[in-house]
């Protein structure tokens, strides 16, 4: 057996380094061959991992120790290969791990599963050539992401809440043209989330019924509501009960095109300006899941 270990040491304010050392200790304890794949930054790590995948097509798996940013980086190289991914949650959001059903505080159960169960195929989204595992979104949350990325304080999930408070008063719904498997909708919306997985933002269940094995996206569209109403509905996203609100519509589609004067994010990473085209690709990634 031979595995790669990719670690983001600074994720989760040092959790990456802490859990990474535990993963390595586990592998050493069980006499399992491994190779640390790392770089001085994300670009260098991506290049090093690409080289590893090319040279080791028969690898038994890749451990990714970090948050959703590292997971997003790693799936760019493992999608449509036969190398399975084991995600170790060490970030602030860990939404891909949540979608896979793993606890966020039980490393040993994940490690034990890797060596006692078989990996399974899941779907991935592909947006303009970039893979994503959880949520592709545009609208208010993307604007909040833009703002949050400029904030030096606070750190962690609170940064997102501060960005919401700053952006909401001046936010106005955008006009969108949305094509879902040939069905076109022209509407104003506050937020559109295209879900392969169930959550983003550290447990916001924006697409609570999404299934990573059904070959379809869940598309959540939030129609315009007043700011007081938005503040009333927003907390419900953590339980997934926001989908019961009359301003929320859910569609299911394999291919989605969205156009507007707006930007998009996928798995918390900036995709860029619309228009965008996304497809749900069945059985695109091997993973260990609960």
pTM for the full predicted model: 0.92
- Pairing outcome for strands 130-132 and 120-127: antiparallel
For 177, residues 6+ apart whose C-beta sits below 8 A from its C-beta are 184, 185, 186, 258, 259, 260
Residue 154 is predicted with a pLDDT of 79
Instruction: For residues 66 and 169, state if they share a domain.
Output: no
Instruction: For residues 177 and 50, state if they share a domain.
Output: no
Instruction: For residues 224 and 101, state if they share a domain.
Output: no
Taking alpha carbons only, the member of 58, 12, 64 closest to residue 36 is 64
CATH number at residue 6: 3.40.50.10330
Q: Who has greater pLDDT, 97 or 14?
A: 97
Taking alpha carbons only, the member of 113, 271, 136 closest to residue 196 is 136
Per-residue confidence at 195, pLDDT binned at 50, 70, 90?
Answer: very high
Total structural domains in the chain? 2
- Domain boundaries, position 58: 2-120
Task: Return the SS3 of 98.
Answer: helix
Instruction: For residues 100 and 135, state if they share a domain.
Output: no
Average pLDDT of the chain to the nearest whole number: 93
Instruction: For residues 189 and 274, state if they share a domain.
Output: yes
Q: How far apart are CA 207 and CA 261, in angstroms?
A: 23
Of 120, 143, 158, the residue at which a domain comes to its end is 120
**Neighbour tally for 232: CB within 10 Å:** 12
Token reading at 210: 């999404």
Instruction: For residues 218 and 183, state if they share a domain.
Output: yes
Residue 47 in domain:
yes
Task: Return the SS3 of 69.
Answer: helix
Q: How far apart are CA 117 and CA 66, in angstroms?
A: 22
Q: Who has greater pLDDT, 40 or 32?
A: 32
Q: Give the tens place of pLDDT for each residue, 198-226.
A: 998 888 999 999 999 999 999 999 999 99
Instruction: For residues 159 and 271, state if they share a domain.
Output: yes
For 161, residues 6+ apart whose C-beta sits below 8 A from its C-beta are none
CATH number at residue 175: 2.60.200.40
Q: How far apart are CA 189 and CA 143, in angstroms?
A: 13
Residue 204 in domain:
yes
Residue 290 in domain:
no
Q: Give the tens place of pLDDT for each residue, 51-102.
A: 999 999 999 999 999 999 999 999 999 999 999 999 999 988 899 999 999 9
Of 120, 141, 174, the residue at which a domain comes to its end is 120
Residue 141 is predicted with a pLDDT of 87
Residue 289 in domain:
no
Token reading at 95: 């939404």
Phi, psi of 105 (to 5 degrees): -135, 30
Q: Who has greater pLDDT, 190 or 91?
A: 190
Please provide the size of the chain in residues: 290
Instruction: For residues 138 and 91, state if they share a domain.
Output: no
Residue 85 in domain:
yes
Residue 125 in domain:
no
Residue 288 in domain:
no
Instruction: For residues 103 and 56, state if they share a domain.
Output: yes
Instruction: For residues 171 and 217, state if they share a domain.
Output: yes
Residue 156 is predicted with a pLDDT of 66
Q: Give the tens place of pLDDT for each residue, 128-179.
A: 999 999 999 999 989 988 888 788 787 766 777 888 888 888 899 999 999 9
Instruction: For residues 163 and 223, state if they share a domain.
Output: yes
Of 100, 120, 140, the residue at which a domain comes to its end is 120
């Amino acid at each position: 057996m031979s595995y790669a270990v990719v670690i983001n040491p600074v994720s989760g304010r040092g959790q990456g380094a802490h859990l990474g050392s535990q993963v390595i200790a586990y592998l050493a304890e069980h006499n399992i061959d491994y190779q640390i794949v790392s770089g001085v930054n994300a670009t260098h790590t991506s290049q090093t991992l690409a080289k590893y995948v090319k040279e080791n097509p028969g690898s038994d798996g890749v451990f990714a120790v970090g948050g959703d940013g590292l997971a997003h980086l790693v799936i760019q190289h493992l999608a449509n290969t036969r190398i399975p991914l084991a995600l170790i949650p060490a970030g602030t959001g860990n939404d891909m791990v949540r979608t896979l059903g793993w606890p966020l505080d039980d490393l040993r159960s994940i490690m034990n599963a890797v060596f006692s169960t078989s990996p399974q195929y899941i779907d991935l989204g592909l947006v303009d050539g970039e893979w994503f595992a959880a949520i592709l979104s545009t609208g208010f949350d993307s604007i909040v992401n833009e703002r949050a990325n400029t904030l030096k304080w606070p750190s962690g999930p609170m940064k997102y809440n501060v960005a919401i408070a700053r952006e909401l008063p001046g936010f106005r719904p955008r006009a969108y043209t949305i094509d879902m498997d040939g069905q076109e909708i022209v509407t104003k919306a506050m937020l559109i989330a295209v879900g392969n997985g169930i959550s983003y933002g550290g447990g916001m269940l924006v697409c609570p019924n999404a299934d990573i094995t059904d070959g379809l996206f869940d598309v959540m569209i939030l129609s315009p509501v007043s700011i007081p109403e938005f503040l009333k509905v927003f907390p419900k996203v953590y339980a997934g009960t926001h989908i019961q609100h009359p301003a929320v519509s859910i569609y299911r589609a394999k291919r989605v095109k969205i156009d507007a004067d707006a930007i998009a994010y996928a798995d918390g990473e900036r995709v860029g300006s619309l228009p965008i085209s996304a497809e749900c690709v069945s059985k695109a990634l091997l993973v260990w899941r609960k």
